Structure 1
Amino acid sequence: MNRRDFIQRTSLLGAAAFLPIRSFALAEKSKYKMGLQLYTIRDAMATNPLATLKAVKAMGYEDFEVYGFDSENGTFYGYKSAEFKSILDDLGLSVSSGHYGFSPYLDMSEDELKRFVDLCIEGAHALNSPYITWPWIAPEQRTMDNFKLMARLLNIIGEQVTASGLGFAYHNHGFEFEDHNGENGYDIILNETDANLVKLQMDMYWVMHASKTTPKELVAKHPGRYVMWHIKDMDKVSRDYTELGNGSINYVDVLPNPKKSGLEYYYLEQGGNFASHSMESVATSAKYFKKYLQKYL
């Protein structure tokens, strides 16, 4: 190689270091399965889970986040955990996380909580699901004292779940960002939980809806901790949920660097406000995501 060729090549390599991460992402095949939070299609899952899973697979969804685990019966959508796993296997689908009903345990004993966590662990293991996620607390529970209590319980659950070989995460809404005399619940969760035990599932819709920060700013402050994302759009007028591409969130600008985030899984979601019905909405969102956003992941 002569000196001129060497200089040209090294100059190109040097310039590449300053290109935005998206320039590289565009050139690489996505390593993530396209995920869906099944709560979006809860009506269809309640009616015919098998037909519904076949339909969303045809749309391109490969991975799911479950909800509604019946801990006493060990069932998902009316199927025993092992039976539901067999259905997923037959369809070539996976479940990487679940939203489990932890909220009532803010008002129960730690022994009751630990028993429930053991049941969740059993269900998650049966599905070969890597993550258990705390998704929500009731409106009457959203006090600063309860956020501090919850942070302590998150650490307890995280230790128990981690010891079982699984991961544990907390999913935000918008209420965590509400101001309480200069404090907010999300800061408590971030600062009073062990980052090794309690990971974070970022709902980008709610981050943008709260208008207190951005997904990129959160990742910059806590790199590696946001192992899961929820991606959904915001109606331009009502600010309610809407199908991807129909709303006001420009995800090309909003999406953080997945590597810096620590991203392992993401899920498209729409909690309601369907243009027609839930299955049509997830088809619309899948089509938009594959065309405009999947290339960045």
Structure 2
Amino acid sequence: MDRREFITAMGILGAAAALPIPAFANTKKHNYKFGFQLFSVNQDMNRDPIGTLKAVVAMGYEDFEIFGFNGEQGTFYGQKAAAFKTLLDDHNVTVSSGHFEFAPLLEKSDAALMRFVDQCIEGARTLNMKYITWPWLAPEQRSIENYKALCEKLNRMGERVNAAGLGFAYHNHGFEFEDQRGQNGYDIILKETDPALVKLQMDLFWVMHSSKRSPKELVKAQPGRYVMWHIKDMDKKTRDYTELGNGSIDYPGILPDPVAAGMEFYYLEQGGNFTHSALQSAADSARYFKQNLQHLF
């Protein structure tokens, strides 16, 4: 490097150092993997897991969140966990989180719940996941009293999962934001779960659909806790799911800062209302995201 190049380089570094820290930090590329929630193609995965995985990998997806674990059999999509991990490795892709069916055990004994938690831990470790996620409550379980009981269980589950070296998270839908006697389930979860034990997976569609607070407001109130995001679009007329780019959600305008949120993984998802088919929707959303939204992460 000659003297002129050295002076120029030092000038650039000096200017960067003079920038406010957030402005400089935003220039960093975070290299998040391109994620997809396999529940979007759940019927295809159950019918043909090998062919379906090959298809979504060809769309560019690199990391997955699974659904469909059988604890008694130790299987994902009908395949033993070790065999499914081999399938992932063969395609050079990963699974970072799983949605596990905890809701049927909410009213069962702690022993039954923790037995299933231990099965989930074993399955998650086999796939080298980072997070185990509670994804759902049945309609009859969505009372204020049940939300409070749920929080106690979430804390105990989080403690057990964390002790096993994994993270634990709760995934929202829209029902948590519904008012009941001046309260709502999501506020109870935020207040009565330990942020060190129970992280949050923000479904941006459902926040925009049902919450009175924006994603940015939620992150501001609980920075660093929203470690995973679900990304899908909202039909302009029906407000149902739709492919990215077909709907009403202004993602450049509503996205929180991923660093402030604590985001580690994101997953595109579409739980239904496909224009043509689940696989075609997965491909269409992947194409739109890569062309219009991926630069925001």
Q: TM-score, normalised by structure 1?
A: 0.93
Provide the residue aligned with 2:42 in structure 1.
Answer: 42
Residues 36, 267 of structure 2: 8 Å contact kept: yes
In the superposition, relative to structure 1, how do residues 80 and 18 fare at CA in structure 2: closer, same or farther (>3 Å)? Answer: closer
Q: Structure 1 residue runs of 4+, over 4 Å off?
A: 5-13, 15-22
Pairwise CA distance, 1:31: 1.2
Residue identity matched to 1:160? R
Provide the residue aligned with 2:180 in structure 1.
Answer: 180
Where do 1:184-263 residues align within 5 Å?
A: 184-263=184-263
Pairwise CA distance, 1:112: 0.7
Residues 174, 211 of structure 2: 8 Å contact kept: no
Pairwise CA distance, 1:9: 7.7
Residues 21, 257 of structure 1: 8 Å contact kept: no
Provide the residue aligned with 1:291 in structure 2.
Answer: 291
Q: Distance in 2 between matches of 1:58 and 1:7?
A: 44
Q: Distance in 1 between matches of 2:24 and 2:177?
A: 29
Pairwise CA distance, 1:140: 0.6
Q: TM-score, normalised by structure 2?
A: 0.93
Provide the residue aligned with 2:111 in structure 1.
Answer: 111
Q: Distance in 1 between matches of 2:177 and 2:22?
A: 34
Q: Distance in 1 between matches of 2:116 and 2:218?
A: 31
1:176-207 alpha-carbon deviations (Å, 9 max, x no partner): 01111111100110110110100000000000
Q: Distance in 2 between matches of 1:41 and 1:277?
A: 9
Q: Distance in 2 between matches of 1:174 and 1:127?
A: 30
Higher relative contact order structure (alpha carbons within 8 Å, sequence separation ≥ 6): 1
1:224-252 alpha-carbon deviations (Å, 9 max, x no partner): 00000000000000000000010000111
Residues 170, 199 of structure 2: 8 Å contact kept: yes
Unaligned ranges ≥5, structure 1: none
Where do 1:112-131 residues align within 5 Å?
A: 112-131=112-131
Residues 16, 24 of structure 2: 8 Å contact kept: no
1:228-286 alpha-carbon deviations (Å, 9 max, x no partner): 00000000000000000100001111111111111111100000000100111010100
Pairwise CA distance, 1:14: 3.8
In the superposition, relative to structure 1, how do residues 96 and 18 fare at CA in structure 2: closer, same or farther (>3 Å)? Answer: closer
Pairwise CA distance, 1:18: 7.0
Kindly report the root-mean-square deviation, in angstroms, between the aligned alpha carbons of the 2 structures.
Answer: 1.9
The answer to whether residue 87 in structure 2 is matched with residue 87 in structure 1 is yes
Q: Distance in 2 between matches of 1:86 and 1:146?
A: 39
1:13-72 alpha-carbon deviations (Å, 9 max, x no partner): 5456575976x26xx3x4111010000011211221111111111111010000010011
Query: Percent identity between the aligned chains?
Result: 58
